[in-house]
Amino acid sequence: MKKMLLHILLLCLQPKAFAQLPANFLPPTGTEHLRIYTDRNCYVAGEIIWLNIKVISGTEAPSSEIGYVDLLNPYTATPVLQAKINLHNGEAFLQLPDSISTGNYVVRAYTRHSPEAQAPIMIVNTLRDSIVDTHLFNVTSTTHPAILSTEHSYGRRMPVDMSVQLPIHTQEAYASVYLYDACEQSAATINLLPNTSLPAIPPTWKETAGQVITGTIIDSTGQPLRVPVYLTVTGSRPKFYCQSSSDSGHFAFELLAYSGDANILLLAATKNYQINVQTPFHPLAQQAPTPHAEGTQPVDTALLNALLQRHIAMQVQQAYFHDSTLLADDPFADSILFFGKPDEQVLLDDYTRFNTVEEIFREFIKTTMVRREGNTLHLHTLNNVLANPKFFEQDPLVLVDGVPVFDNQRLFALAPLKIRKVSVLARKVFFPGQYFYGIVSLQSYAGDLAGYPLDPHALVVDYSGTQLPLHFFSPAYDHHQSPTLPDQRTLLYYNHQVPVNADGTAHLHFYTGDLPGIYRVVVRGADTTISQYLEVQ
């Protein structure tokens, strides 16, 4: 009876635990596939490719939350641009560099558990290549169909309000309105060569919650190590992960709420090791290039004029409105530490500064105790879970800007004036395969580890998270206001989440620009695509 009561008491007083490899790390059995749409078919270097990507699952199991996008040269299967996206809203973009080569490309989207979805596009570099000498490949026809009639006609800088009827069951739609010139009409006839089919993607882990980082750790002889591996996402809000490697030296971390650009740091509390991180993108097999001279056709007059107009419009928009297209705020940004609310947190600027780190812990931090054992100082945290709290006998996990510290001499040798905040979790903490006697987190002002020297075997990788959304810029000319800045937009409207009413109607509202011509309105629902045309005079 006493043993049973003891077990119940231990369950009630269980310490804090952090799960890092949930059940979805088992090889998945369900199926899913993607749908990818681009805002248009033809681009010039310097423009933005706006993407809408939807994941469709064939089962009731959770679908992938992380997707991958490659802009490929189909003749060599070489990625020109790559991005990781959050599939929760399916919004993505690719900024075309000024150095990209002219030709036909493939935008390819996939997850770690799905076959790829492809969208062929045409890109012309009007900045580097001579438009007169440009050749476009595998365009079946250079005869551009004329638009005989349009549903609507508008003046320049006028408001446009359109209603589109979709099937009643449609819940959400995607829409774009772009200049339908000879470039767009030519790109709509792109055919990829049969020998440029891309290699299939083998299904792997299903990322249903966050991005998964996989890798291996080996010793100096190349043998796998079974040891705890520590991962830190650096920055002003560092995140810490711990995971034991397998007998084969493999490890996997699931990074939750990780977006934007950052560095990750991986290390182990052992000697003479090497850590390797695997790319999450599909390794594309190199293929023999297809000579571009075969089957090429010269640019005709209509296409030449369209490219010249796009060339000027792109440079005007970059010159006057480049700062209007902004990244959205990080939806996962917050000031909460990775282990939640600390038991004690001290901002050192609120107190008179001391000259050593030892004095900081002795005088300011109530939930820690400094003890000298021989010639070495040790730090101990309080166990707040007990009815009568007492200090642990073992050292806690100490982090400096999220990086674990295993050398106490170097810890207490840090410059105290570089440390901004100290946070303490005063209880036992469990990670997969390992536990710690409390956590002491030190954060510097500059996020540079306060001068703490890194382990020479540690691996620092520039590893981006999911892409932050980009706000689509569309000016509003309300109250008859007409700014003097030129408006050379060739993409008047883009919305990857157009609300649809219960009766299936979707409403679009935007303003025309200064470029006259025929504009194509494309609205896509789950199984329906509606195309209309309007004219700007």
Residue range of the domain that includes 306: 32-201+293-330+470-536
Q: Are residues 370 and 508 in the same domain?
A: no
Q: Are residues 185 and 319 in the same domain?
A: yes
Residue 256 lies in a domain: no
pLDDT, tens digit (0-9, with 9 covering 90-100), for 266-298: 999 998 999 999 988 887 644 444 444 333 455
CATH at residue 386: 2.170.130
Centre a 10 Å sphere on the Cβ of residue 46 and count the other Cβ atoms it contains: 20
Residue 25 lies in a domain: no
Q: Are residues 321 and 184 in the same domain?
A: yes
Q: Are residues 315 and 424 in the same domain?
A: no
Residue 273 lies in a domain: no
Residue finishing a domain among 429, 462, 495: 462
Q: Are residues 458 and 476 in the same domain?
A: no
- Using alpha carbons only, give the angle 24, 26, 27 rounded to the nearest 5 degrees: 110
Residue 72, both tokens = 């490929």
Tokens 């990209």 correspond to 100
Residue 494 lies in a domain: yes
465, 211 Cβ separation under 8 angstroms = yes
Strand partners, 277: 215
Which pLDDT does position 385 carry in this prediction? Answer: 86
Residue 504 lies in a domain: yes
pLDDT, tens digit (0-9, with 9 covering 90-100), for 51-102: 999 888 777 778 888 999 999 887 777 889 999 999 988 889 999 999 898 8
Q: Amino acid letter at 143?
A: T
Beta-carbon-side half-sphere exposure of residue 278 (alpha carbons within 13 Å): 17
Q: What is the rounded distance in angstroms from the CA atom of residue 503 to the CA atom of residue 153?
A: 26
Q: Are residues 400 and 508 in the same domain?
A: no
Residue finishing a domain among 462, 492, 516: 462
Q: Are residues 42 and 139 in the same domain?
A: yes
94, 118 Cβ separation under 8 angstroms = no
Residue 159 lies in a domain: yes
- On the question of pLDDT at 151 being above 90, the answer is no
Which pLDDT does position 341 carry in this prediction? Answer: 85
Strand partners, 509: 161
182, 124 Cβ separation under 8 angstroms = no
Which pLDDT does position 298 carry in this prediction? Answer: 55
How much is the mean pLDDT over the chain? 81
Tokens 């994941």 correspond to 55
Q: Are residues 54 and 175 in the same domain?
A: yes
22, 432 Cβ separation under 8 angstroms = no
Q: What is the rounded distance in angstroms from the CA atom of residue 162 to the CA atom of residue 154?
A: 12
In eight-state DSSP terms, residue 99 is: T
Q: What is the rounded distance in angstroms from the CA atom of residue 441 to the CA atom of residue 210?
A: 24
Residue 360 — φ and ψ, nearest 5°?
-60, -45
Residue 84 lies in a domain: yes
Q: What is the rounded distance in angstroms from the CA atom of residue 449 to the CA atom of residue 451?
A: 5
Q: Domains in the chain: how many in total? A: 2
Residue 116 lies in a domain: yes
Q: Would you call 470 helix, strand, or coil by DSSP?
A: strand
What value does the CA radius of gyration of the chain take, rounded to a whole number of Å?
Answer: 29
Q: Are residues 449 and 529 in the same domain?
A: no
The per-residue b/e assignment along 228-250, b for 16 or more CB within 10 angstroms, e otherwise, is: bbbbbbbeebbbbbbbebeeebe
- On the question of pLDDT at 248 being above 50, the answer is yes
Q: What is the rounded distance in angstroms from the CA atom of residue 534 to the CA atom of residue 179?
A: 10
Strand partners, 396: none
CATH at residue 526: 2.60.40.1930
**Confidence category of residue 15, pLDDT binned at 50, 70, 90:** very low
Mean pLDDT within 496-515: 89
pLDDT, tens digit (0-9, with 9 covering 90-100), for 33-50: 888 999 999 999 999 999
Q: What is the rounded distance in angstroms from the CA atom of residue 175 to the CA atom of residue 495?
A: 5
Residue finishing a domain among 417, 439, 462: 462
Q: What is the rounded distance in angstroms from the CA atom of residue 374 to the CA atom of residue 372?
A: 6
Strand partners, 368: 381
Q: Are residues 383 and 423 in the same domain?
A: yes
Q: Are residues 458 and 489 in the same domain?
A: no
Q: Are residues 76 and 179 in the same domain?
A: yes
- Per cent of the chain over pLDDT 90 is 36
Spatial neighbors of 135 by CB under 8 A, at least 6 apart, are 292, 293, 296, 297, 298, 299
Q: What is the rounded distance in angstroms from the CA atom of residue 396 to the CA atom of residue 47?
A: 51
pLDDT, tens digit (0-9, with 9 covering 90-100), for 394-427: 999 999 999 999 999 999 999 999 999 999 999 9
